[in-house]
Structure 1
Amino acid sequence: MEKIQWKVDGMDCNNCALTIRRYLEKEGRTDVRVNFATGDVSFDQHTGLKTDSLVKGIQDLGYTVTGTAIAKPDKVSKPWLSTHLQRFWFCLPFTAILMLHMIPGLHIHWLMNPWLQLALTLPVYIAGMQFFGRSAWKSLRNGLPNMNVLIAIGATASFVYSLYGTLTNQAADYMFYETTATILTLVFLGNYLEEASVASTQRALKKLVSTQKVMANMIAYDDQHQEQVFAVESEQLRPGDLILIRTGEQVPADCKILWGEAEVNESILTGESEPLHKKGKDLLIGGSVLVNGTVKAYVTAAGKDTVLAGIVNLVKQAQGEKPPVQQLADKISAIFVPVVLGIAAVTLAINWIVLKEFTPSLMRSIAVLVIACPCAMGIATPAAIAVGLGRAARSGILFRNATSLELFKNISQVVFDKTGTITTGQFEVAQWKVMSSDLTEAAFQRIAYSLEKYSSHPIARSIVRNWKVNDDIRWKSIEEIKGKGMKGEDKEGNLYWAGSYETAKAYTTDETHNVYIVRNNELIGWIDVKDEIRPEARAVIHYLHSKNIKTILLSGDRQHKVKALADELGIAEVLAQQTPEQKLEVIARLSAAQPTVMVGDGINDAPALARATIGISLSDASQLAMQTAQVVLMNNGLKHLPLALGLGKHTFITIRQNLFWAFAYNIVAIPIAALGLLKPGFAALVMGLSDVVLAINSGRLYVKKVDR
C-alpha cells in the first residue's frame, strides 16, 4: 500500500468533503481523509495503481487537484472576484445604495425607481450566482446539496419576484431587490469571516510548516580542495550534503554534527525552551535553532523525510479524521439541505394560508433558507481538532489520530512502565562493597572500570561513567560472555569476572546485587546501581492523584525494587516481574474493566500500548514512525503528560460544545425565521456569524488551562 496526499481546491463546506470522500471510497481507496478547512486529501491505495483517472474524476465533480505529478498548480495570480472578501467589497457599494431608502428620515425618491434598483442589484446577483449558483449546481449534480443551494434559491426567489413586479408594472407590491443584494453581500461577508476564523485554527500547524523552508549554507570543495560555502534552499538539500550552521540560524534539515559544539533550542519539537548542548556525532533535528555556537554537519534526512515533516503529516492526517461523535453530524448534514427546502416550502404554504398574503409568506420562506446553516455542523469538529492538535504539536505532544479523542473523557487509571518511563534509563552507582581485605576502594573501582569499559550493557556503561580512571588494567585477553558478564585475564595470569549473579553463585547465596566482581574464584565485591527517577515523575503522579486517577506501576524488574520505587512515588499498586506477554494480558484486562492509559517507551511496550484504551509513548523523535501509541511525548519526559491528557479531554469537550451550538442554532433559528421574526437580510448576517462563534469557541483551546 502507498499513501497518496493531495491538495484540493474548491471545497466550500463539509458536504464537499463528503462528496470527495465518497467518490474515493467508491473507487476502492481506503483510509480516506478529507479536511475541507485545509484542502488536504489523503488515502491509501495498492502500490502501482495510477491516479490520473482519480484526478479527472475529482475534477469532474467540480474540484481542482493540485500537488501531484498529473495536476501541478499553475503559478498564476488569481482573477478578480476569486475570494469572498473581494466579492464582498464588490457588492457592498451597490447594496449600500439600495439600503439608503431604509434609513429613517432619509427619503430619496429617485432611488425608488424599480429599473434603477434592478440595475444596482444585477451586478450583485451576477457575482453571487457566479459563486453560489455554480457551487449549488455542482453539489446538486453530485447528489449532495450544500448550503449554497439554500442561498442561491433564496436570493433567486427574491430577485425573480422583484423582476416580475418590475416587468408587469407592479413594482410597488413586488420590489425586494434590496433583499437579494443584502442576502448575497452579507453571506459573502459571513463566508469570509468563517474562512478567516477556520484558518486561524490552523495557525499552530502553519508555524510548524513555515519552519520547513529556510536557506542553508552548503559546503563544497573546489578543484584546489578549498572549502566553499554558498546558500541554497533547504528543499534542495539531499542526504550526505555538508552544511554549515552558525549562531542564530535554523537547522535546515535533519543532520549529524561532524565538527563543533553548540547550544540548540529544540522547542519547535519538544516544547522545551531550555537549550541542549550538542557536540560531535550528535543529531540535530531540522527546525531547531542554534542559540550559540557553530557546527559543520552532514544531512541525514531532508524534505519530506525529516522528523518535522513527519510530524506535520501526522498532524494533518489526524485533523482529517473524525471521532465517532461527528458521524451523526455528518449524516444529518448530508440530508440537511433537502429537509430545509421542505421546511421552507411548508413555511411558504402555511404562512400564505394563515396570512392570506403571498409577499410576507415568501419573505419568511426566504429567511428560513438563508438562516439555515449546515456548515456549522461541518466545521464543529475540524475547528476544535485543528486547535487542539495544533497546540499539542507546538508543545511537543503528537496525537497520531483524532478518533481516540472521545476516549479521553472517562480516563480513570494510568499504568506506567518503569525503566525509561518513570525512570530515566540512565543508571547510577548506588552502593558497593569490597569483600577482599587486600583491596582498597580505589583498586576495586579500577578493576570494575577496566572490565566494564569493554561492555555495552547499560549497567556497565553507568559504572564506567561513574568510576572513570586513567590507569586502567591492560588485559592479556578480555571477552563478554552472553548471559554472564565480562571475563578478563591480566598479564600476570589473574582471572577476573564482572557480571550477574550467575558468575558468583558458587561463592555466595545473596542474589540481590546487580554486579559481582570475582578474582581467581574469589568474590571480591559487589556493586548495586539504581535507575534515576525522572525529576518530574513525582509531580505528575501527584497531579493524577489530585484528579482521582488511579496509578499503577508495571515492570519486568524484581518485586522489591519495583515496590521500593512505587513507595517512593506514592503509587499504591505494583505489578512486577512481568514478561511482555504478561504485560499485554494485564493491560487487556485493565482496559476491559475501565478506560486505561498505558505510558511506556513505545518499543518494548508496543503490544501493551496498542491494547490500552490510550497508549502514550515517550520516544526520540527519530523513532516516531515506529510508535504504536496514539500519543507521543516528544520531549523524552513525563512533564507534558498532564497537558496531553488535558488537551485530549478538553478538545473532545470543545467538539461537543461546537456540535451543541450547531444543532441548537438551527433548531432555534429556523422556527424564528418561519414565524417572521427575522428579515432575510438580517438572517443572512446571523447565519454567517454562527460559524464564527464555533471558531472563537475552538480558539479558546489555545489559551485554556487544560492541565489543572
Structure 2
Amino acid sequence: DILQTNAGNRIAADGIVHSGEAWCDESYLTGESKPLLKQAGDKVLAGALLSNGSITYQAQTLGSQTLLGDMMQALAQAQGSKAPIARLADKVSMVFVPAVVAIAVLTFILNWWFGGDFNEAVTRGVAVLVIACPCALGLATPAAMMVGMGRSARYGVWFKDAASLERTSQVNTVVLDKTGTLTQGKPQIVAQWRNPACQYDAQTILQLAAAAEQLTTHPLAQAVIQAAEQQNLPVLTASNSHSEIGQGTQAQVDGYGAVKVGKPAWCGFSIPGQLQQQEIWQIASIVVVAINNEIAGAFAIADALKEDTASAIKRLQQQNIDIHIMSGDQRSVVEYIARQLGISYYQAEMNPRAKAEAVRALMQQGKVVAMVGDGINDAPALAAADVSFAMYGGADVATNTASATLMRHSVTQVADALALAHATVRVVKQNLFFAFFYNILGIPLAAIGWLSPVIAGAAMAMSSISVLLNALRLRKSRLD
C-alpha cells in the first residue's frame, strides 16, 4: 500500500519513500539524535516521527516484522533473561527462607522462655517473619537489568541477554575492525591535485572525470561520481566509453574531447615531489585525469574515518580501555588510521583465522575482550571474544554471532554500551547491598522487640520501593 504521513505524525510501517521530502526523527531506534532527510527511494522505519515535511511511502513490512517490532521482541527476550550476578541472590534465597523461619521460631521460644509473655513472644516472632521478606533481594538484579537494557535500546544498542550486559561491564580491551567500523566502508576523495598548467579549474576536472566514469561500477569510479554529485555538478554527456580492466576508463566528453581516468602509469603520470611528501598520497589510491592526453589533475581516494570515530576512541581511552585495531587492509593504511586516532596497538593484513587467534591471545593474557566488526571475516573473532558487537545491516553471520547489535554503525555506541553496562552493574551491586543491609539490620531489631509487625511491614515495603527507585536512576545517569 502507498501511505501518506505529514509533519507531527509517525510512520506506520517500514517502507520506501515514494514521493515528497520530510525530516524524520529515528532516535528511538538508532540512537541518532539528528533528524534525517528522507526523499524518494530512502527507507523509512515504523515509529519514526516526521518533524517537518510530508511524504508518501510504500509499506514493505508490518507489525512484528518491522525493525521496531523486532527490537521490541529482542528487548523482551533480553529483559527476561537472568544475569550471572543474579545467582548470588538465588543462592542466598535458597537458605534465606528456612533460616528466617528458624530465627523466627527461636525468637518466639527465647522471648517466651525469658520474658514469660506469650503474646509478646508471638508478636516478635511475627515481626521477624514480616521484616525479612526477600522481595528487595529478588528485585535487586532484574529491576536494574530491565532499566539498563531499556535505556541501551534507546541508544541503539541491542543486548541479546542480561549476561552479555553484565560481561560488558568487565571489558578492559576493545578490538576494532577498520573497514566499516572505524571508517565509512566506502572509498572517498580525500585530496585533489590540479596541474597548474591545466586550463580547467578543479570542479571542471572532477566533472569531466565523473562524466567519463558514469558507466563504470568500480568502487574508485563511484567515489569520483559521488563527489561530483555532492557538489551538484551537472552531468556531462560522454560517448565511446572504453574501460581497460585494472587500468582505467577513457571516453569522449562533448565539448571537451578525450578524457582518460585511471592509474598513474596508464595515464603517463608521475606523482610530483610535493605530493610524495604528503602521507595521504602515499597510502591512498591515486586516480589521474588526462584531458586530450594532457595531465589535468589527480585524486587521492581512501576510506575516510567516520565523523565521530575520533571522539569515540577518546571516550574509550578515558575509561582506561586498551584499544586494538585488527584489519585485513595493507599495513601502511592501518598504521595511518591508528596514528590519526592515537591508537598504539594495531595489526594489518590479517585473515579471519588470524583475527580470532589474536583475540584468544589477548584473553589468555587475562584481558576481558570486546570485539567490534560487521563483516563475514569478523565472525570468527566475534565468536572468540568475551563480548562482541556487530553493526546492524552487516553480514548476518556477524550479527547472529555477536552479543549485541549496534544500530548506528558507530564506535560511539560501543562507548555508550560500556558506560551503560558499568552503570547498570553498579546499581545492581547497590541494590544487593541495600537488600542485605536491610535484612541484617532489621531482623535483630524485630527479634528484640524494637519493631512491631506493623512497622516491620512498612519497612519491608519501603525496602522494595528503594530498590526500584535506585534502579530507575539509570534512566537519567550520565554516559560521559
TM tier, smaller: 0.7 to 0.9
1:253 to partner: Cα distance = 1.1
1:516 to partner: Cα distance = 4.9
Alignment match, 1:701: 474
SS for the counterpart of 2:371 is: strand
Alignment match, 2:430: 657
Alignment map for 1:431-470 (pairs within 5 Å): 431=191, 445=206, 448-467=209-228, 470=235
Amino acid across the alignment from 2:331 = Q
1:488 to partner: Cα distance = 5.8
TM-score computed with the length of structure 1 as normaliser: 0.59
SS for the counterpart of 1:535 is: coil
Amino acid across the alignment from 2:369 = T
Instruction: Point out 4+ residue stretches in structure 1 off by more than 4 angstroms.
Output: 432-435, 437-447, 478-481, 485-491, 494-501, 503-513, 515-519, 522-526, 620-625
SS for the counterpart of 1:474 is: strand
Q: Percent identity?
A: 35
Alignment match, 1:474: 239
Alignment match, 1:674: 447
1:616 to partner: Cα distance = 2.4
| In 2: Cα distance, 1:595 partner to 1:500 partner | 45
Alignment match, 1:365: 125
| In 2: Cα distance, 1:622 partner to 1:389 partner | 24
Alignment match, 1:616: 389
SS for the counterpart of 1:531 is: strand
Alignment map for 1:333-482 (pairs within 5 Å): 333-431=93-191, 445=206, 448-467=209-228, 470-475=235-240, 478=242, 481=245
Q: Calculate the aligned-residue CA RMSD, in Å.
A: 3.5
1:664 to partner: Cα distance = 2.5
**Aligned pair partner of 2:402 in 622, 626, 629:** 629
1:643 aligns with 2:413: no
Which whole-Å deviations, capped at 9, do the CAs of 1:282-306 have from their partners, x for residues lacking one? 1000010111111111111101111
| In 2: Cα distance, 1:628 partner to 1:500 partner | 40
Which whole-Å deviations, capped at 9, do the CAs of 1:224-272 have from their partners, x for residues lacking one? xxxxxxxxxxxxxxxxx22111121100111111111111111211233
Amino acid across the alignment from 1:473 = A
Amino acid across the alignment from 1:258 = H
SS for the counterpart of 2:343 is: coil
**Aligned pair partner of 2:56 in 293, 296, 301:** 296
Alignment map for 1:234-253 (pairs within 5 Å): 241-253=1-13
| In 2: Cα distance, 1:512 partner to 1:695 partner | 55
Alignment match, 2:336: 564
Alignment match, 1:551: 323
| In 1: Cα distance, 2:103 partner to 2:260 partner | 88
Amino acid across the alignment from 2:320 = N
1:499 to partner: Cα distance = 5.8
Amino acid across the alignment from 2:116 = K
Which whole-Å deviations, capped at 9, do the CAs of 1:405-452 have from their partners, x for residues lacking one? 3323432222222222222235332345689x9996778656642443
1:677 to partner: Cα distance = 1.9
1:547 to partner: Cα distance = 2.7
1:535 to partner: Cα distance = 2.4
Greater shift, 264-273 or 449-458, is seen at 449-458
**Aligned pair partner of 1:540 in 292, 297, 312:** 312
Instruction: Label 1:513 to 1:339 Cα distance change in 2 as closer, same or farther (>3 A).
Output: closer
Instruction: Label 1:655 to 1:680 Cα distance change in 2 as closer, same or farther (>3 A).
Output: same
| In 2: Cα distance, 1:678 partner to 1:364 partner | 8
| In 2: Cα distance, 1:688 partner to 1:557 partner | 59
Alignment map for 1:503-518 (pairs within 5 Å): 514-516=285-287
Instruction: Label 1:683 to 1:430 Cα distance change in 2 as closer, same or farther (>3 A).
Output: closer
Whose radius of gyration is greater, 1 or 2?
1
Alignment match, 2:354: 582
Indicate conservation of the 8 Å contact 2:5/2:54, yes or no: yes
Indicate conservation of the 8 Å contact 2:148/2:421, yes or no: yes
Greater shift, 600-609 or 561-570, is seen at 600-609
1:587 to partner: Cα distance = 1.9
| In 2: Cα distance, 1:699 partner to 1:506 partner | 67
Which whole-Å deviations, capped at 9, do the CAs of 1:549-590 have from their partners, x for residues lacking one? 222222222222221222222112221222222222222222
Alignment map for 1:135-146 (pairs within 5 Å): none
SS for the counterpart of 1:678 is: coil
Indicate conservation of the 8 Å contact 1:603/1:627, yes or no: no
Q: How many residues align?
A: 461
Alignment match, 1:601: 374
1:621 to partner: Cα distance = 9.9
SS for the counterpart of 2:238 is: coil
| In 2: Cα distance, 1:505 partner to 1:471 partner | 21
Unaligned runs of 5+ in 1: 1-240
Alignment match, 1:273: 33
1:692 aligns with 2:452: no
SS for the counterpart of 1:256 is: strand
| In 2: Cα distance, 1:697 partner to 1:458 partner | 52
Which whole-Å deviations, capped at 9, do the CAs of 1:485-525 have from their partners, x for residues lacking one? 6556769xx99986679x95999899965255699xx9967
Amino acid across the alignment from 1:586 = A
Instruction: Label 1:458 to 1:567 Cα distance change in 2 as closer, same or farther (>3 A).
Output: same
SS for the counterpart of 1:456 is: coil
Higher relative contact order (CA 8 A, sep 6+): 2
SS for the counterpart of 2:411 is: coil
Unaligned runs of 5+ in 2: 277-281
| In 1: Cα distance, 2:471 partner to 2:437 partner | 17
